Structure 1
Amino acid sequence: MHAQRDDLYAELHSRPFQVIPSTARVSYVAVMMDVEQKKQDFDHFLTLFQRFGAVPPAQDSVCLEVAHGDVRIRRESHLEFISYTIINEGAPFQQDPFANNGLSCLPQDWVKNMVGTVVSAFHVAIEDAKERPEPDLVHVKSYFESMRLIGSRPHNGDAQVWTTFKVHSDGCGRVLVYNRNMSDSQLGRMVQRLIEIESYRLFALLSLPLARHYNQRLAQMDQRLADLTATLAEASEVDEQQVLTQIIDMAAWVEAARAKTTFRFSATSAYHDLVLKRLAELKEDEVSGHLTITEFMTRRLTPAVRTCKATSEHLENLSRRLDRVSDMMRTRVEMSIQSQNQHLLASMDRRSKIQLAMQHTVEGLSVAAISYYSIGLIKYLIEAAYQHGAPIDKSLAVGISVPIVIGGVWWATRRIHKRFLKLAKEYGSVED
Structure 2
Amino acid sequence: MHASRNALYAELHSRPFQVLVSPARVSYLAVMTSSEQKIQDFEHFCQLYLHSNMSAPLEDGGFYEVDFGTFRVRRDKHLEFTAYTIISTHFDSSNSPFEQNALSLLPQQWLEKIPGTVIAGFHIAVEDARTQPEPDLVAAKVYFEDMRLVGSRPQNGDAQVWTSFCLHSDDFGRFLIYNKNMSDSQLGRMVQRIIEIENYRLLALLALPMARKYSAQLVHMDDRLAATTACLSDPNEVLDEQALLGELIDMAAWVEATRAKTTFRFSATKAYHGLVLKLLGELKEDEVSGHLTLTEFITRRLTPAVQTCRATGEHLESLSMRIDRVSDMMRTRVEMSIQSQNQALLASMDKRSKIQLAMQHTVEGLSVAAISYYSVGLLKFIIEAVYDKGVQFDKTLVIGLSVPFVVGGVWLATRQIHKRFLLLARKEMPESELK
- Rounded to whole Å, the distance in 2 between the matches of 1:225 and 1:387 is 96
Residues 33-432 of structure 1: pairs in structure 2 closer than 5 A:
33-236=33-236, 237-429=238-430
**How far apart are 1:430 and its partner, in Å?**
8.8
Query: How large is the Cα RMSD of the aligned pairs?
Result: 1.2
Shift of 1:242: 0.6
Number of residue-to-residue matches in the alignment = 432
Displacement after TM superposition at 1:382 (Å): 1.1
CA distance in 2, matches of 1:136, 1:335: 80
Q: Which amino acid aligns with 1:134?
A: E
Q: CA deviation at 1:252?
A: 0.4
Per-residue Cα deviation, 1:50-86 (whole angstroms, up to 9, x for no partner): 2223332221111111112231101110001000000
In structure 2, what is the Cα distance between the partners aligned to 1:64 and 1:103?
17
Q: Residue 108 of structure 1 aligns to which amino acid in structure 2?
A: Q
Q: Encode CA deviations 1:337-357: one digit per residue, 9 max, x unaligned.
A: 111111111111100000000
1:389-432 per-residue CA deviation (whole Å, 9 max, x = no partner) reads: 11221111011101000101111111111111111111103998
Deviates more, 1:117-126 or 1:226-235: 226-235
Q: Which amino acid aligns with 1:60?
A: D
Measure, in 2, the Cα distance between the counterparts of 1:431 and 1:15: 73
- Using the alignment, how far apart are the partners of 2:318 and 2:50 within structure 1? 55
Equivalent-residue separation in structure 2 for 1:143 and 1:122 (angstroms): 14
Question: 2:272 and 2:380 mapped to 1: Cα distance?
Answer: 109
Who is 1:6 aligned against?
6
2:267 alignment partner AA: S
Partner amino acid for 1:184? D
The percent of aligned pairs where both chains have the same amino acid is: 66
Using the TM superposition, give the Cα deviation of residue 49 of structure 1 relative to its aligned residue in structure 2, in angstroms: 1.1
Q: Distance in 2 between matches of 1:338 and 1:113?
A: 67
Structure 1 stretch displaced more, 323-332 or 279-288: 323-332
Q: Which residue of structure 2 aligns with residue 17 of structure 1?
A: 17
For 1:213-263, what per-residue CA distance to the aligned partner results, in whole angstroms no more than 9, with x for missing partners?
A: 000000000111011111101135411101100000000000000011011
- Distance, in Å, in 1 between the alignment partners of 2:200 and 2:88 is 23
| Unaligned residue ranges in structure 1 (runs of 5+) | none
Distance (whole Å) between structure 2 residues aligned to residue 34 and residue 149 of structure 1: 35
AA of the residue aligned to 1:37: Q
Are the aligned partners of 1:120 and 1:202 in contact in 2 as well (CA < 8 Å)? Answer: yes
Query: Offset of 1:97 from its aligned partner?
Result: 0.4
Q: Distance in 2 between matches of 1:163 and 1:188?
A: 18
SS at match of 1:167: coil
Which residue identity does 2:227 align to in structure 1? D
Deviations 1:111-137 (A, max 9, x none): 112111011000000000012111111
Query: Is this contact kept in 2: 1:25–1:124, CA < 8 A?
Result: yes
Rounded Cα–Cα distance in structure 2 between residues aligned with 1:57 and 1:92: 32
Q: Deviations over 1:298-325 (max 9, x none)?
A: 1100000000000001001111111111
Amino acid across the alignment from 1:183: S
Structure-1 separation of matches of 2:166 and 2:82: 21
**What is the TM-score normalised by the length of structure 2?**
0.98
Q: CA deviation at 1:278?
A: 0.5
Deviates more, 1:420-429 or 1:23-32: 420-429
CA contact (8 A) 1:54 1:66 kept: no
Give deviations 1:110-168, integer Å, cap 9, x for gaps: 11121110110000000000121111111100000000000111011100000000000
Compare 320-329 and 12-21 and name the one that shifted more.
320-329
Equivalent residue letter for 2:186: Q
Distance of 1:130 and 1:293 partners within structure 2: 23
One-letter amino acid of the counterpart of residue 212, structure 2: R
Query: Is residue 86–residue 103 contact of structure 1 (8 Å, CA) maintained in 2?
Result: yes
SS in 2 for 1:39: helix
Worse-matched range after superposition: 6-15 or 385-394: 385-394
5+ residue gaps, structure 2, are none
Alpha-carbon separation, structure 2, partners of 1:429 and 1:381: 48
Whole-angstrom CA distance in 1 between matches of 2:374 and 2:35: 94
Which deviates further from its counterpart, 12-21 or 53-62? 53-62
TM-score by length of 1: 0.98
Structure 1: how far apart are the matches of 2:345 and 2:135? 94
The separation in 1 between residues aligned to 2:200 and 2:65, in whole angstroms, is 21
User: Equivalents in 2 of 1:95, 1:56: separation in Å?
Assistant: 34
Spell out, residue by residue over 1:346-372, the C-alpha distance to the aligned partner (whole angstroms, 9 max, x if none): 111100000000001011111111111
Structure-2 separation of matches of 1:423 and 1:339: 33
In structure 2, C-alpha distance between the alignment counterparts of 1:366 and 1:114, rounded to whole Å: 97
Give SS of 1:263's match.
Answer: helix
String of CA shifts for 1:249-293, please: whole Å, max 9, x gaps: 000000000011011111111110110000000000111111110
Q: Give 3-state SS (helix, strand or coil) of 2:160's partner.
A: strand
Q: Which amino acid aligns with 1:300?
A: R
SS of 1:174's partner is strand
Query: How far apart, in 1, do the equivalents of 2:191 and 2:56 lie?
Result: 27
Q: Report the AA paired with residue 323 of structure 1.
A: D
Structure-2 separation of matches of 1:238 and 1:421: 47
